[in-house]
Amino acid sequence: MHIFYARSQAKHAPAHEFFDGRMIPYQESPQRIDMILAALARAGFNELYAPRDHGMAPIEAIHSSAYLTWLQEIYADWIAFGGPASGAVCDTFAMPGLPHHPVRPRAAMGRFALDATSVIQAHTWQAAYDAAQSAICAADHVFFGAHAAYALCRPPGHHAHAGMCGGYCFLNNAAIAAQRLRANGHPRVTVLDVDFHHGNGTQDIFYQRPDVQFVSLHADPERQYPYYSGARSECGVGAGLGSTCNFPLPAGCDDALFLATLDRAAGDIRAFAPTALVVSLGLDTFAGDPLGDFALTRLGFCAIGQQIAKLDLPCVFVQEGGYAISDLGLNVVATLTGFVQQTGERMP
Ligand code: SP5
Ligand code: ZN
């Protein structure tokens, strides 16, 4: 299976984040990449490729130009304002009802950020841009005939809206990959999101669209981030009504409950009859994850990979969350191995 990844993606490396009211080390660390690459190599997944640069057009197909301009300008303006080099962090959000609309990037930050975890440093734009290019290359590889590809996207993407960063995410890699498959000619594409957190950004981007289905299993937003998105009742709107399917799950969710729910989700996917699949692959459902409260095991991830393979669709895996650093690589490998075994593809 081809793996797409650019070394620049490790250069985004914030030191700290606000977490449950305390400052702690940034959980979405570059070390995550090292763990994934090491485990993939040890398991024989060694077809590693740097992404080709497909330029801004596939990114502009998803994100607003105002947001993309802001994302490229914010760090310099933050520094010009006297902010520390450790990175730009939003502290004041543009809640509805406030009368002024600032123009300057630093002042306008609260219009473009969902929360305070998406720290923007000197190399953040390049890292996010190259993660998106990795997703685009994986989508193209699948479009041109591969059964599957894996984009080692970091920073992740599924919390990013068309015009907003959040949850460690800046560019929505999965949405960009899905749109790329549509542009290449797939009539219907499903994004299946198995990250612990609801993929609010991906849902919002495709909420009105009948051609891209969004199906997500995640922690109930009554209990967990992103809080304002991910209820069962969110089903899409207008022409998109029915093409969003949410499965909020309780604390302690184990392999059995997750897999049974994935089976129900697969029913919705088959009913939509997509011709290609993008998987937002988060491993923060793992029992040992510091952000999650689920209890999935390595065997569970292997079974998830198998169940995804049974959908029998060309599949682009896009890396999202997963913060149990020492197990993260093995959990990615378990998922991809389950997928590969089931399809009878040559084992790596
Ligand atoms: C891509 C991704 O997985 N982003 C997740 C961002 C979550 N940030 C909010 C964390 C909230 C902390 N609450 C955790 C409760 C543990 N006791
Ligand atoms: Zn997550």
pLDDT tens for each residue of 254-275: 999 999 999 999 999 999 999 9
Ligand 1 mean position, distance from CA 312 (Å)? 32
Q: Is the pLDDT of residue 160 over 90?
A: yes
Closest residue to atom 4 of ligand 1, CA basis? 167
**What's the number of CA atoms in the CB half-sphere (13 Å) around residue 281?**
30
Least Cα distance to 202 among 146, 157, 240 occurs for 157
pLDDT at 345 > cutoff 80 = no
Residue minimizing CA distance to atom 5 of ligand 1: 167
Give 138's pLDDT tier (boundaries 50, 70, 90).
Answer: very high
Residues in contact with 264: Cβ distance below 8 Å, sequence separation at least 6, in sequence order:
247
Q: Which of 63, 141, 158, 159 is labelled catalytic?
A: 159
Looking at the CA of 320, which ligand is closest? 1
pLDDT of residue 346: 54
- Percent of the chain scoring above 90 in pLDDT: 98
- CB of 193 within 6 A of ligand 1: the answer is no
Could you report the per-residue pLDDT of 87-122, keeping only the tens digit for each?
999 999 999 999 999 999 999 999 999 999 999 999
Tell me if 197 CB under 6 Å of ligand 1.
Answer: yes
Q: Across residues 74-98, what is the average pLDDT?
A: 97
The rounded Å distance from CA 258 to ligand 1 centre is 19
d(CA 175, CA 183): 12
Q: Is the CB of 321 under 6 A from ligand 1?
A: yes
Query: Within 10 A of 233 (CB to CB), how many other CB atoms are there?
Result: 6
Reported as a single tens digit per residue, the pLDDT across 4-22 is 999 999 999 999 999 999 9
* Residue 54 pLDDT level (bands cut at 50, 70, 90): very high
Q: Is 159 among the residues known to form the active site?
A: yes
Determine the pLDDT at residue 348: 55
347: confidence class by pLDDT, cuts 50, 70, 90: low
Please state, for a pLDDT cut of 70, what percent of the chain lies above it: 99
CB of 236 sitting under 6 A from ligand 1:
no
| φ and ψ at residue 303, rounded to 5 degrees | -65, -35
Closest ligand relative to 172 C-alpha: 1
Is residue 157 within 8 A of residue 201, CB to CB? The reply is yes
Q: What is the 307 CA–ligand 2 centroid distance (Å)?
A: 20
Q: Is the pLDDT of residue 293 over 80?
A: yes
Round to whole Å and give the CA distance between 66 and 53.
22
| Ligand 2 centroid from CA 181, angstroms | 24
Would you place residue 171 in the very low, low, confident or very high pLDDT band (cuts 50, 70, 90)? very high
User: What pLDDT was estimated at residue 344?
Assistant: 73
Q: Are strands 22-25 and 16-19 parallel, antiparallel or unpaired?
A: antiparallel
Whether residue 153 has its Cβ less than 6 Å from ligand 1: no
